[in-house]
Amino acid sequence: MTDIYSERVLVLDFGSQYAQLIARRVREQNVYCEIVRHDITAERIRELAPQGIILSGGPSSVYEPDAPKCDPAIFDLDIPILGICYGMQLMCERFGGNVRNASAREYGHAHIRISDPTDLLAGLPDETDVWMSHGDQVEQISGLFRPLASTRTCPVAAMRHVDRKQFGIQFHPEVTHTPLGSQILRNFVISICGCEGTWKLGDFARETIVRIREEVGDARVICGLSGGVDSSVVAALLYRAIGDQLSCILVDNGLLRKDEEAAVIAEFSSHFKTDLHVVNARERFLEKLKGVSDPQEKRKRIGYEFIECFKEEATKIKDAKFLAQGTLYPDVIESGAAVDGPAAVIKLHHNVGGLPAELGFDLVEPLRDLFKDEVRKLGIELGLPEDIVWRHPFPGPGLAVRCLGEVSEDKLAVLREADAIVVNEIKSAGLYRSTSQCFAVLLPVQSVGVMGDARTYDNAVCVRCVDTDDFMTATWSDLPYEVLARISTRIINEVKGVNRVCYDISTKPPATIEWE
């Protein structure tokens, strides 16, 4: 069996908002890529034995006293290096070049002229568009480097070491705004680093199934199901590995989407035939949410109650030793849980150590090396229906954070119906796969309307639909007017208690995707 981890590229993270995106783009070349902290030692890199190293961008200036730096001995390892933006400037400074604050800063689209179309820039046209995001730039390179490309205001937009496989680019190849960025990364990973592309999800599934069997033995594993793609893929993978040793728990908190409970029950009791435990806790959750309007307090109460429900049901399952969770690679990175990863904790993710230790289970986290798009591809490999695999993200607290203000059964009923219409119309228009997330929000306001000959004073619903590659930034979806019109007409006509529908045209940032 092929070792899918036999080839790897390391991304040294200098605080870039695009570090995860770089890793994802490298993996698209079928090469395993992981993010490590910027100050990892050269000795540790030698132990990890990567085929290549990428120095990420970052918000700092290399000439600032406390600017993050890498171990200078990294440049003396016989490993190809690609510096992106800040990473290029760091490389330039290391070898005696000069970096300064640019008089003409470049943010957004730029046009580069390529003077040396070999190695890193092989196969690219003489001129191409790229995405810039920098206030500093390389003013002068040492005699150890030669320029490969320039823009109108940036004389060294790309460079390479004259003797070593070390390259720098001032622009960002990882973003979609650089149309030929994937070709540049492919040139680096495949042609320069010599990778053959051993990271394949079919092999990942086979290796993971073998590893789960060895780890679990004949013990029972509990998996929490939410209806989302992550928990569904975990359950499908475990079922392939251990069959009837798997028990699944679905906590129906009354905050699920329309028909979600029925869909999960059908999939995991008939298709996969797992030992499925459904906990009806609707009244329990609603009681805990009574009188609560603050979003964070809602999240806390829902999270606590979920753990209590899960614990109670888990104790009823005999011989259970392991708990499976849908932890993904971004969760691990952002929680600071990766061994060599960035040390700063961005957030404590609910999937990383989310359930308390007193449950007494050992954790099984088969997806902790994967990004979301890889999880979806794995779901297809495992035979999950496309309806589950391509389901839009759904927040952990469910409809509670889309029902603004205090949550009640009546409000949830209105929201559930409105939300189902939004999703149904987006699917009917063939836009579900091309949009990233669509849903309805019930606003805590009423407005005057006229229905028939009667005056109404009813609820307002806001429709939210966004496009994004990474969910760190998002733009509102430019839906056709006729789709918006059908959504509005159906909600007002079919959902009792709604007389006004709005469309959210806010980007992230400054807004978030969810309203709470």
Residues labelled catalytic: 85, 172, 174
Give 370: exposed, middle or buried? Use CB within 10 Å, 0-12, 13-18, 19+. Answer: buried
Distance CA 205, CA 240 (A): 9
Q: Which two structure tokens, joined as six digits, stand for 208? A: 């993971």
Closest listed residue to residue 330, CA positions, set 7, 13, 55, 48: 13
- H runs (alpha helix) in 465-510: 481-494
Distance, in Å, from the CA atom of 60 to the CA atom of 85, rounded to the nearest integer, reads 11
CB 420 within 8 A of CB 438: no
Q: How many CA atoms lie within 13 A of 85 on its CB side?
A: 30
Angle among Cα 490, 495, 500 to the nearest 5 degrees reads 70
- Inter-CA distances, 208 with 179, 185, 204, 361, 368, Å: 34, 28, 6, 20, 11
Question: Where are any strands of DSSP class E within 22-126?
Answer: 32-37, 52-55, 81-84, 98-114
d(CA 7, CA 200): 11
Residue listed under structure tokens 């449950």: 359
Beta bridge partner(s), residue 483? none
Cβ atoms within 10 Å of 297's Cβ, excluding its own: 12
| Contacts of 14 by beta carbon, 8 Å cutoff, 6+ apart | 38, 55, 56, 57, 58, 60, 68, 86, 87, 90
Rounded Cα–Cα distance for residues 193 and 78 (Å): 11
Report the distance separating Cα 110 and Cα 355, nearest Å: 47
Extract the tokens encoding 87. Answer: 């990473």
